[in-house]
Chain A
Amino acid sequence: MNRREVVLRLVVLLSFAAVSQSSFAEPYFAVQKGLKCSMCHTSPSGGGKRTVYGNVYAQAEVSERTLDLGDFWTGELGKYFAVGGDIRGGWNQIDVPGQPKTSETDLEEFLAYIEIRPFPRYLRIYVDAKLGPEDRVVREQYVRLSTADDGLYVKGGEFFLPYGLRIQDDDAFIRRVTGINFNTPDTGWELGYEHDKWSAQLAVTRGTAGGPEVDSGKQYSLRVSHVTPKWRVGGSFNFNDTKFGDRQMQNIFGGLRTGRVAWLAELDYIIDDGTPTGRRESWASLVEANITLKLGHNLKLTFEYFDPDGDVSEDEQNRFSVVWEYFPIQFIQIRLGYRKYNGIPQNPAQKREQLFLELHLPF
């Protein structure tokens, strides 16, 4: 079977799949389709390079119009090699009360994903690198050994940790406060299990959030999820043992599809030892509704809550976001969004407003 036949079969398969006028990328996409993250992404916990299915789906079912470009782009450059990428740029304005508005327009990042398969289905070498525009940083680089059906795998190297919902916005409380996001890959080993409706990952890493090893303590991350066509639920546990103090985090997360709305939720409970004031317990949460207005148009409404210290009253913060995501044609996503932060009045930055327009070119 040649590449063209593979692609055609995939298109046919997609046409018979449950039709869902969903948007592109992020966990809500998986909720709308009732699929695991691993269906569309090389990484079983989501994000990064897309699979053949993910690529074809993104081109066939996501955008308002689909230009006829001949064959679908699958990222596959043969049996042993696959690539992908993301280009993001846009305009961002931040308004902090009492301060002049700041805004910037720039090409934010150009990401390249490379997958080398010396022994297809069994051994993969994966690299996720930021190539520009201002700096070059390798975000993930690992070797992954798996069974033929990908039901069990082990990978070693540098990678994003499995924990909670892997949403795009690193500034969301559940990403920023936990310290597990696209800016903090860690180095170590991960064991993964994928079977039927279950997905699980266990990682043991340095625990330095991108830095070199500084002590003998390790960070342990466990993420387990159960996925059905209409809903999913999961939990994560993370313990980072460091010489300066430990952090323990746990969360529950889930997704639910109700008609044209895909819901996402996560609740995190974080315990820090060794802070200047001793033990500290904090909470972070997210509730998000993704409403498919019509094909190619997604409205994302998000509410987030953060309690930095359970023992301190009146320090809580929240954030509302409204984001319209538009996919005019395949490979193009436009995001127009507004975020309102609410926090203590003493810190104006906690009451800022943000307006942004993004252009995202995934391939």
Chain B
Amino acid sequence: MDCSRNVRRPGFPVILLLCSVIVGCTAGSGEGLDISGRPLSEGGDVPLAPTLASIQANVFNPSCIVCHGGANAPQGLRLDVANSFTNLVGVASRQDSSFLRVMPGNPDLSYVIQKLEGTASVGEQMPLGGPPVPQATINFVRQWITDGALPDSGGPPNGPPVVVSLIPDPDSVVGSFPSDITAGFDQDIDASTINDMTFTLIRSGGDGTFGDGNEEVITPASVALSGMNPRLAVMDLTGVSTIEDRYQITLHGSGPNIILGINGVALDGQYPGSFPSGDGTEGGDFVVEFEVQGIQPSLASIQNNIFTPTCSVAGCHSGPPGPNLPAGMDLSSVNASFSSLVNIASFQEPTILRVAVADADNSYLIHKLEGTSAQGSRMPEGGPFLDQAMIDVIRLWIDTGAPQ
């Protein structure tokens, strides 16, 4: 072999380096590891069975968490052992919010099954780019869901329960009053300890501060442990007056009424500014705040809270104004929205005004938002649709004269 000739080739050093890299980067032998590539000392292999522990070990760990793990997990869906149950059971899919990721008792309507079997209406079959999970294995997931999608059946945990998630987020500013508040825990909770004395909500009384005596206790429609997820507490706020103010949520871990895990240990609730809560010892309240800066029945507020973020995104009602839909119905600014809507006949239904002043019921905008129009699809196209409370604000703006 004439090495000197090869050395003159510009690619030779690169090839040499590449060969060295390949030789040095062989695949692991798997010695001492389980199917997920983790040391056997962390638990080892688990036989396939319709239990979460088995599905975690045989499906989520080896096939999913290479992507659905860590902070960059797609759609925020982390499927590691600490998060899979909380993120799946009873939680709406972000790709298709008409489905729960796991609906206990109904695998056909569980989005995770649709994704694994490749029948979901949105996106690719999972695992993305990889071989499909064998149907025989998926059938164990199906059976687990049919059996109620229960959490791990191991013995009660020793440590105190801690809070691992909350919606709305601590210290967040939300545009509308939430229809419910959900708190996730790291372990099953004693359902009898989730009630309106252990999971409470107060508002500041308008001054944005707490502890000065003018707070108002909010009475929710109900407070209970989720029927589908024993690690999820839900405060239903249906019917509660939507007042812009600062609110304080408390999950009680100390005092006469406290939240207990199924092991009878009190909540370790101190919130250090990030999840999970707790200081490692039983007891302590979880206290956080959020603020509602709600939408007002004015065009400026509707513009900021609805039209701009939802309707005038690129490719939709983004202008310039003209006869071509959707861009032509320009909702990109207060002036553009007013010019496009108020006393302007609909292109789809020319006999109806988009906004008929003081007549929300006969305004095409309302028909489109509520899904009652005879033409076209409900807006925002493809959803998620506005909740009725937001639409009612638009109705109020129209009924009060639709001022600019």
Contact = CB atoms under 8 A, between A and B. Distances in A.
A349 B130 contact: yes
A141 interface: yes
B27 A346 contact: no
Interface string B2-27: 00000001110010001001100111
A346 B46 CA distance: 12
Interface stretch (B207-215, B311-319, B361-369): B311-319
Contact of B63 (A94, A118, A143, A349): A349
Chain B interface residue bracket vs A: 35 or more
B29 interface: yes
Contacts of A210: 74-75, 94
Interface in A212-240: 212, 214-216, 219, 240
14 contacts: A134-B121, A135-B121, A179-B72, A210-B94, A214-B169, A244-B71, A277-B42, A303-B25, A313-B32, A316-B27, A316-B28, A343-B27, A346-B30, A347-B62
A36 interface: no
Nearest to A161: B72
A184 interface: yes
Interface stretch (A48-56, A63-71, A189-197, A255-263): A255-263
A347 B133 CA distance: 12
A216 B169 contact: yes
Contact of A316 (B25, B124, B315): B25
Interface string B37-75: 111001001000000000000000011001101111111
Given A138-B315, A176-B129, A345-B30, A244 B78 contact: yes
Give the interface residue-count category, chain A. 35 or more
B255 to A, nearest CB: 26
Interface of B: 9-11, 14, 18, 21-22, 25-39, 42, 45, 62-63, 66-67, 69-78, 80-83, 94, 121-124, 128-132, 134, 164-165, 167, 169, 171-172, 274-275, 313-315, 318, 320, 382
A219 to B, nearest CB: 8
Nearest to A249: B72
A243 B275 contact: yes
Closest 6 CB pairs of A and B: A344-B30, A179-B72, A171-B129, A247-B71, A342-B27, A314-B28
A272 interface: yes
Nearest to A239: B71
A18 B62 CA distance: 48
A276 interface: yes
A79 B61 CA distance: 51
Nearest to B34: A346
A209 B73 contact: yes
Contacts of A180: 72
A114 interface: yes
A170 B128 CA distance: 9
Contacts of B128: 170-171, 176, 183
